[in-house]
Amino acid sequence: MNLSIADITVFFVYCALIIGTGILISRKAGRRKDSTGYFMAGNTLPWYIVGSSVIAANISAEQFIGMSGSGFSMGLAIASYEWLASIMLIMVALWFLPVFVRKKILTMPQFLELRYNRRIKTVLAVFWLLLFIFVNLTSILYLGALSIKTVIGIKMGYAIAGLALFSLLLTVGGGLRTIAGTDMIQVGFLILGGLITTFLALNAVSDGAGAFEGLSLMLEKAPEKFHMILSRSDPNYKYMPGIRSVFGGIWIAGIYYFGANQYIIQKALGAKSLREAQRGMVFAAYLKLLIPVLVVLPGIAAFVLNADIAKPDEAYPWLLHKFVPKGIRGIVFAALIAAIVSSLAAIINSASTIFSMDIYKAHLKKNTSDAETVRAGKIACLIIVVVASLLASTLSGINQVFQFIQEYTGLVSPGITALFVLGIFWKRTTSKAAWIAVLLTFPVPLLAKWIFPSMPFLDNMLLSFLIISLQMILVSLADRKKPHDEKKWELPERIFRNDDPVFKWASLVILLILFLLYYTFW
């Protein structure tokens, strides 16, 4: 797809706006060089920036490219990842954030040390670093570069390098404050560009008769793509196993992702107050309801239009190439880059936060100053990006990268979710039980996959979570010699009570919307 002068102008305006805003915020942030100011934005973020920043970190090429590909392949069923996430964001706001804020938690490894011990914290800090680099960053860089290559014909290597450099410019200067400050702009481009692409795709289905007519024709021509629950005969049943895709392992993945994932929860922990953080999460929940309109419907449209593509992940770039006219391509392309760069920046920042605070400051140089900790974080950013960039092209042989991300994350979600859920809500959970859970985090899902090779990975996650949780309960009950584990974890009464009417009513409306959506497309 060739970009016109107008498209290039729009794209460079976007780049200048993001970089210019980032520089201004970085200069202001530079006056405060302490680690809390750099890594946690000095706890100054209002609710609307928290919410938009959570979505900017969450929505990336894996949604625009990967989820559109899954929409092409399986239809609306894949939207459960987005729609159910809105409930999970509310759950995290109600039951995780009050604990993190009360205990002054900055990183997820820090929570594990406070609740259990330093050994668990260190092992999982290293693990999270590896996960961020080898799964999250590499997959986003690959999908982003693939889309750029398809849209404007740049070689993969140059596209990966460009995305990596752009992300570093946003990350290194002012830390979380810069990232969150530019995310409002990023989300604006993301939604605008996504809506334009959806409109043009639906309009193409109706042969110019409009988006609503296009949606009506899609429902008529491909009714099988508009069911949230897949039948056993569907080839994608292994990814979304019927009713269990709504009431099963997807909750384990979601609670881990939004409640124990550093690059998501860090945005809320940088809020001005608990109330601002909770309102930000419910705002993010509303934005999540919109995401399937931006990414899943275009994938289904590409299917109805008989897209000439080799694999599902090429559906979204094909639509951009085929139906987005010159003069508008710059906006859509900027939206795609915004989604990619904002996620990359969030992950890079969080990975460097964990390295600096949970590894460097805790083990490598215990008496280091805040300024030196921040400097170590900036160096870590550079190394992390270089490693991920070198590995990104190795994902080219994967058919549906979105499912690749879900499956590999699914190997770790059960154990970590059990550590957090039982650690927060059951004070009798002991460090010994938690350590055994850490050791079982990989073996249990891998063993389940070996014993039941045809088991859908969402079912594997639920089964693994139940097994690891049961182990933690039994070991904790038997481990009566460790009363200090119970005594050190005391939470105030009414800590989970929320008296904010805005949060309550906003949450109820989300539940009503979800009921109507699932009732309509069941």
Q: Give domain limits for the chain.
A: 5-402
Task: Kindly give the confidence (pLDDT) of every residue in the chain, 522 residues in length, as a single tens digit, with 9 standing for 90 and above.
Answer: 567 788 888 888 888 888 888 777 776 655 555 667 777 777 888 999 999 999 988 887 667 777 888 899 899 999 999 999 999 999 999 999 999 999 989 999 999 999 999 999 999 999 999 888 888 888 888 878 877 777 777 888 888 888 888 888 777 766 777 787 788 888 888 888 889 999 999 999 998 888 999 999 999 998 989 999 988 888 888 888 889 989 888 999 899 999 999 989 999 998 999 999 999 999 999 999 999 999 999 999 999 998 888 888 788 888 887 888 877 888 888 887 888 888 888 888 889 889 988 988 887 777 777 778 888 888 888 899 999 988 887 766 555 555 566 666 778 889 999 999 999 999 899 999 999 999 999 999 999 989 998 888 889 999 999 999 999 999 999 876 555 555 577 888 888 888 899 999 999 999 999 999 999 988
The CATH number of the domain covering residues in 5-402: 1.20.1730.10
Say if residues 318 and 65 touch (Cβ distance below 8 Å): no
What is the pLDDT, as a whole number, of residue 171?
79
CB atoms inside a 10 Å sphere around CB 130: 10
Q: Give how far the C-alpha of residue 389 lies from the chain's centroid of Cα atoms, to the nearest Å.
A: 19
CB atoms inside a 10 Å sphere around CB 160: 25
- Calpha distance 363→366 (Å, rounded): 6
- Calpha distance 404→162 (Å, rounded): 24
Separation in Å, CA 312 to CA 137, 295, 329, 510: 21, 13, 21, 31
Residue holding tokens 């079982």? 440
What is the pLDDT, as a whole number, of residue 120?
94
What is the pLDDT, as a whole number, of residue 28?
67
What is the pLDDT, as a whole number, of residue 396?
64
- Calpha distance 417→414 (Å, rounded): 5
What is the pLDDT, as a whole number, of residue 168?
83
What is the pLDDT, as a whole number, of residue 1?
55
- Calpha distance 162→158 (Å, rounded): 6
Q: What are phi and psi of 429, to 5 degrees?
A: -60, 125
The answer for residues whose C-beta is within 8 angstroms of residue 145's C-beta and 6 or more apart is: 156, 159, 160, 163, 392, 393
Q: What are phi and psi of 45, to 5 degrees?
A: -80, 130
Total-model pTM: 0.91
The first and second tokens of residue 507, run together, are: 């949450």
Burial of 487 (0-12, 13-18, 19+ CB in 10 A): exposed
